[in-house]
Amino acid sequence: MVKTTINLDDEIYAEIVKESVEKYGSTKKMSMIINQRLRNKKNDARKSGKRITFKVRENLSSLDADIEIRKGWGESSK
């Protein structure tokens, strides 16, 4: 297990605190809830089988290609 500090939006933090207190009676299991959500999201992404598509111009530099790939990734996750 690795320990790290993350910055959560206030809404997300409140939601996780609420879920932790409801399920476990305290906020000590917040990490468990976050890990479960991330695992579920990862599994959902694998099951969806969505392909990322993006348009490529002929004279595209590698940096531009990276930007286009990220745009395609963002659009496919919506």
pTM of the model: 0.51
In the predicted structure, residue 3 carries a pLDDT above the cut 90: no
Average pLDDT score over residue span 42-71:
67
In the predicted structure, residue 5 carries a pLDDT above the cut 70: yes
Average pLDDT score over residue span 35-53:
75
pLDDT single digits (tens) 10-35: 999 999 999 999 999 998 889 999 99
| CB contact at 8 A, 29 and 23 | yes
- Return the pLDDT at 12: 92
CA atoms in the 13 A half-sphere facing the CB of 35:
8
| CB contact at 8 A, 49 and 41 | no
